[in-house]
């Protein structure tokens, strides 16, 4: 496993805290490893929600990645501003977001947009909005992989919904969406069995569509836990969509011992209060890191492997550690988030660290819900 105590920053006294630091060497390693495991840049459709930054999109484009996935209209707009050729909004659009997609299509003719549906009402509404404007959008059928979040089960209704997509003016059937984000078994063999069990059912459904005369031009599938397994199959039109592998985090590092990714993002924090005992208080409250994990399990401090997160409030974290005596007010520490994606989202920018020093600052552009549309 990667040694996180080796991550260091020269000139750390000039960096604000709490603040995001992004280690470029780890990012580059993760981009190369993601592409390798996908089997080439043309089979990777990275989810932008992990980093939400233009600069990483640009780097992915340079590396030959032309297909991207996102969840929000703001992320889609940022991708289109960067002239990403193909953008899939993997989120069923309802309410004003339907018209926002129509605007995106109007404003960015160089980008081909696509989206997903799992319900006939959403398909009809979307088709109507696009058709009224004389436009068409590619639509993937979102299937329930067993994650039970979104997606229609693999049944007759799913077949009928694909038919509806195929016959609704304004919509163009693009294929299938299969996100199996629940596949997180730490035992690589068990995970493989479980991923492939789901995948065989999925392929059975895809084959049923083909037998019924439908075309399935693309399959957008998988997250970080399953993509390397599914990538070994040679299905036509297959695109793998892990997002977290771009930056990686401590949760996945501990959960997937079989993977060779490196956490690329940490939060720089400082001691702001010290009782003199084995407790000290840092400025990394839950407004500066992801708080979706249970309290006590949100951060990892490589310099303090015994540290316990005792009390987490908006701007403070009380740590208990035998090493507290070695720290003074103002001393800095690196805290690695257990969940990187929502951690990026709560910061305005990240300091980019290359070979141990800051070389740039990148804004987290698509943390905003709205850019211009
Ligand atoms: C629809 C969809 N696709 C892909 C991903 C990326 O998965 P991961 O974060 O495991 O890489 C996510 C993550 O939430 C997702 O919701």
Read out DSSP for 19-71? EEEEEHHHHHHHHHHHHHHHTSGGGB--BGGGT--HHHHHHHHHTT--EEEES
pLDDT at 47: 98
Give the Cα separation of 216 and 219 in Å (integer). 7
Q: How far is the CA of 303 from the centre of ligand 1 (A)?
A: 30
Mutate to test the pocket of ligand 1, among 244, 253, 264 (most ligand atoms within 8 A of CB): 244
Q: How far is the CA of 283 from the centre of ligand 1 (A)?
A: 30
pLDDT at 276: 87
In terms of DSSP bridges, do strands 218-221 and 238-240 run parallel, antiparallel, or are they unpaired? parallel
pLDDT at 347: 98
Q: How far is the CA of 181 from the centre of ligand 1 (A)?
A: 6
Mutate to test the pocket of ligand 1, among 33, 149, 241 (most ligand atoms within 8 A of CB): 241
**What residues are in contact with ligand 1 under a 6 Å CB criterion?**
47, 69, 90, 179, 181, 223-224, 241-245
Q: How far is the CA of 47 from the centre of ligand 1 (A)?
A: 6
Confidence of residue 149 (pLDDT cuts 50, 70, 90): very high
Q: Residues 135, 109: contact at Cβ < 8 Å?
A: no
First to last CA, the chain: 43
Give the Cα separation of 90 and 118 in Å (integer). 11
Give the Cα separation of 349 and 360 in Å (integer). 10
Q: Tell me phi and psi for residue 342, to 5 degrees.
A: -70, -20
Question: Which domains are seen in the chain, by residue range?
Answer: 4-20+260-365 (2.40.37.20), 45-241 (3.20.20.10)
Average pLDDT score over residue span 225-230: 98
pLDDT at 147: 98
Say yes or no to pLDDT of 94 above 90.
yes
Q: What is the pLDDT of residues 260-297, one digit of tens each?
A: 999 999 999 999 999 889 999 999 999 999 999 999 99
Instruction: Collapse the DSSP code of 357 into the 3-class scheme (helix H, G, I; strand E, B; otherwise coil) and give the result.
Output: strand
pLDDT at 275: 84
Burial pattern 181-191, b for ≥16 Cβ within 10 A else e, equals bbbbbeeeeeb
Ligand 1 atom closest to 91 (CA): 1
Which residue has its alpha carbon closest to ligand 1 atom 5?
223
Q: How far is the CA of 145 from the centre of ligand 1 (A)?
A: 13
pTM of the shown model = 0.97
Residues 6+ apart with CB under 8 A from 142: 90, 92, 116, 117, 118, 150, 151, 152, 177, 179
Ligand 1 atom closest to 244 (CA): 11
Q: What is the pLDDT of residues 235-244, one digit of tens each?
A: 999 999 999 9
Q: How far is the CA of 134 from the centre of ligand 1 (A)?
A: 32
Q: Of the candidates 240, 257, 263, which has an alpha carbon nearest to the alpha carbon of residue 189?
A: 257
Mean of the per-residue pLDDT values for the chain? 97
Average pLDDT score over residue span 327-335: 98
Which residue has its alpha carbon closest to ligand 1 atom 2?
179
């Amino acid at each position: 496993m990667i040694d996180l105590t080796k991550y260091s920053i020269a000139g750390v006294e000039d960096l604000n805290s709490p603040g995001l630091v992004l280690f470029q060497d780890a990012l580059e390693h993760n981009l190369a490893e993601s592409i390798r495991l996908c089997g080439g840049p043309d089979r990777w459709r990275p989810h932008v929600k992990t980093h939400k930054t233009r600069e990483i999109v640009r780097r992915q484009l340079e590396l030959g990645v032309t297909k991207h996935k996102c969840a929000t209209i703001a992320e889609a707009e940022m991708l289109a501003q960067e002239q990403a050729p193909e953008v899939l909004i993997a989120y069923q659009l309802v309410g004003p977001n339907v018209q926002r997609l129509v605007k995106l299509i109007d404003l960015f003719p160089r980008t081909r947009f696509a989206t997903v549906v799992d319900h006939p009402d959403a398909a009809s509404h979307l088709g109507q909005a696009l058709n009224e404007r004389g436009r068409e959008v590619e639509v993937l059928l979102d299937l329930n992989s067993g994650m039970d979040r979104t997606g229609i089960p693999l049944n007759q209704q799913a077949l009928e919904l694909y038919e509806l997509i195929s016959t609704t003016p304004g919509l163009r059937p693009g294929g299938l969406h299969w996100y199996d984000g629940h596949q997180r078994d730490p035992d690589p063999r068990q995970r493989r069995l479980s991923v492939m069990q789901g995948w065989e059912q999925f392929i059975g459904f895809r084959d049923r569509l083909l037998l019924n005369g439908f075309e399935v031009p693309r399959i957008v599938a998988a997250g970080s836990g399953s993509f390397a397994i599914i990538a070994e199959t040679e299905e036509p039109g297959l695109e793998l969509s892990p997002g977290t592998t771009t930056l990686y985090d401590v949760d996945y590092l501990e959960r997937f011992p079989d993977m060779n990714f490196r956490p690329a993002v940490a939060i720089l924090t400082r001691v702001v209060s010290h009782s003199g005992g084995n407790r000290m208080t840092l400025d990394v409250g839950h407004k500066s890191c992801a708080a979706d994990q249970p309290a006590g399990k949100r951060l990892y401090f490589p310099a303090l492997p015994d540290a316990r997160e005792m009390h987490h409030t908006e701007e403070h974290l009380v740590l208990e550690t035998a090493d507290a005596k070695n720290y003074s007010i103002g001393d800095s520490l690196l805290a690695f988030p257990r969940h990187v994606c929502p951690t990026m989202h709560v910061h305005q920018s990240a300091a980019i660290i290359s070979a141990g020093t800051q070389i740039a600052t990148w804004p987290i552009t698509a943390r905003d819900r709205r850019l211009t549309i």
